[in-house]
C-alpha cells in the first residue's frame, strides 16, 4: 500500500523537530524551514508531496506527530483522508479549554521514589554534566555523564533509575538548570534558583 506525505512548508515554524529525528527524510533551507527530501510541489495546493510505501510509513508518521505546527500530514491516495488520527485544536479555539491553576503541597504530596535519588553538577572545564544515582539504600550505584539534559534524562529513564512521574519531571527540570549553568558558566546549587 502507498500513502502521500503532504507538507505545508509555508506554515513551517522552523522548530527542526522533524529533521532532528529523521535527517534522512528532511533537510533544512536557509531560513531553517524543513525541506521534504524528494518532495514535489503541488502548485495548486502549494503543498509539497511525496508518495511513500508501507515500509517508509513509520518514519514519516514520527516526523508528522512530532511537528508542533501540524504542517505534515499523511493521506490515503484514493480518499485523500489523513491517516494520522489526530484532531489538533484550531488556534482560535484554544482559549475555550479550561485553565487549571498549578499548585504543589510538598508536605502532602512529596513521596520518596523507591528507586532512589540523584545529585547532579556541571563541570564547565570538561563541558559535561555528571549525575550521581543513589539507590534506595543510599549507596552510590552509578554516575551518568553527558553533555546535555536530554541525553541524560533519557538515559535515566531508559535504565529504569526512576519509578515515579513526579520524580522524572523533577530530574528533567533540574537537569535543564544544570545545562544552563554549564553553558553560561553559572554557579549551580541543586534545588536552588540559578543566579540572575
Ligand atoms: S517539525 Fe514541523 S515546524 Fe518544525 S521544521 Fe519540521 S515541519 Fe517545520
Report the percentage of the chain scoring pLDDT > 70.
Answer: 100
Residue of the nearest CA to atom 6 in ligand 1? Answer: 18
Mean pLDDT of the chain: 96
Place of cell 491517516: 83
Say yes or no to pLDDT of 91 above 90. no
| Number of structural domains in the chain | 2
Q: What is the mean pLDDT of residues 27-53?
A: 97
Tell me the backbone φ, ψ of residue 178, rounded to 5 degrees. Answer: -65, -40
* CA 11–ligand 1 middle distance (angstroms): 9
pLDDT of residue 170: 97
Q: Specify whether 124 is located in the same domain as 74.
A: no
Q: Is 47 in the pocket of ligand 1 (CB under 6 A)?
A: no
pLDDT of residue 196: 86
pLDDT of residue 15: 85
* CA 179–ligand 1 middle distance (angstroms): 24
Dihedral (CA of 108, 109, 110, 115) sign: positive
Q: Specify whether 119 is located in the same domain as 169.
A: yes
pLDDT tens digits for 161-173? 999 999 999 999 9
Dihedral (CA of 165, 169, 172, 174) sign: negative
> Which atom of ligand 1 lies closest to the CA of 26?
6
Of 85, 119, 153, the last residue of a domain is 85
pLDDT tens digits for 8-30? 999 999 988 999 999 999 999 99
Domain hosting residue 68, numbered range: 2-85
Q: Is 178 in the pocket of ligand 1 (CB under 6 A)?
A: no
The whole-model pTM stands at 0.78
- Distance (Å, rounded) from C-alpha 69 to C-alpha 8? 10
Q: Specify whether 78 is located in the same domain as 112.
A: no
Q: Is 63 within a domain?
A: yes
Say yes or no to pLDDT of 194 above 90. yes
Q: Residues near 7 by Cβ (< 8 Å), separated by ≥ 6?
A: 34, 36, 39, 47, 48, 49, 50, 71, 72, 73
> Which atom of ligand 1 lies closest to the CA of 17?
1
Q: What is the mean pLDDT of residues 88-109?
A: 94
* CA 32–ligand 1 middle distance (angstroms): 9
Place of cell 484514493: 78
Q: Is 195 within a domain?
A: no
Q: Specify whether 8 is located in the same domain as 81.
A: yes
CA atoms within 13 A on the CB side of 186: 16
Q: What is the mean pLDDT of residues 27-46?
A: 96
Task: Give CB contacts under 8 A, 24+ apart, made by 163-168.
Answer: 163/113, 163/114, 163/115, 164/111, 164/113, 166/109, 166/111, 167/113, 167/115
Beta bridge partners of 143: 132
- Distance (Å, rounded) from C-alpha 86 to C-alpha 103? 30
> Which atom of ligand 1 lies closest to the CA of 63?
1
Q: What is the mean pLDDT of residues 181-195?
A: 97
pLDDT band at 33 (very low <50, low <70, confident <90, very high): very high
Q: Is 15 in the pocket of ligand 1 (CB under 6 A)?
A: yes
Q: Specify whether 81 is located in the same domain as 8.
A: yes
Amino acid at each position: 500500500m502507498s500513502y502521500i506525505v503532504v507538507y505545508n512548508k509555508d506554515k513551517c515554524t522552523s522548530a527542526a523537530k522533524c529533521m532532528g529525528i529523521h535527517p534522512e527524510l528532511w533537510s533544512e533551507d536557509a531560513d531553517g524551514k524543513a525541506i521534504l527530501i524528494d518532495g514535489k510541489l503541488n502548485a495548486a495546493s502549494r503543498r509539497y508531496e511525496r508518495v511513500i510505501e508501507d515500509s517508509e510509513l513509520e518514519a514519516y508518521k514520527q516526523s508528522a506527530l512530532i511537528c508542533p505546527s501540524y504542517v505534515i500530514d499523511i493521506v490515503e491516495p484514493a480518499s485523500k483522508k489523513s491517516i494520522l488520527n489526530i484532531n489538533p485544536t484550531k488556534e482560535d479555539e484554544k482559549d475555550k479549554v479550561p485553565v487549571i491553576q498549578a499548585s504543589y503541597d510538598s508536605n502532602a504530596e512529596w513521596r520518596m521514589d523507591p528507586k532512589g535519588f540523584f545529585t547532579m553538577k556541571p563541570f564547565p572545564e570538561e563541558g559535561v554534566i555528571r549525575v550521581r544515582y543513589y539507590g534506595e539504600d543510599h549507596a552510590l550505584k552509578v554516575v551518568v555523564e553527558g553533555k546535555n539534559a536530554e541525553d541524560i534524562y533519557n538515559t535515566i529513564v531508559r535504565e529504569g533509575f526512576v519509578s515515579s512521574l513526579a520524580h522524572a519531571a523533577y530530574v528533567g527540570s533540574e537537569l535543564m538548570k544544570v545545562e544552563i549553568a554549564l553553558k553560561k558558566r553559572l554557579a549551580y546549587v541543586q534545588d536552588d534558583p540559578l543566579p540572575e
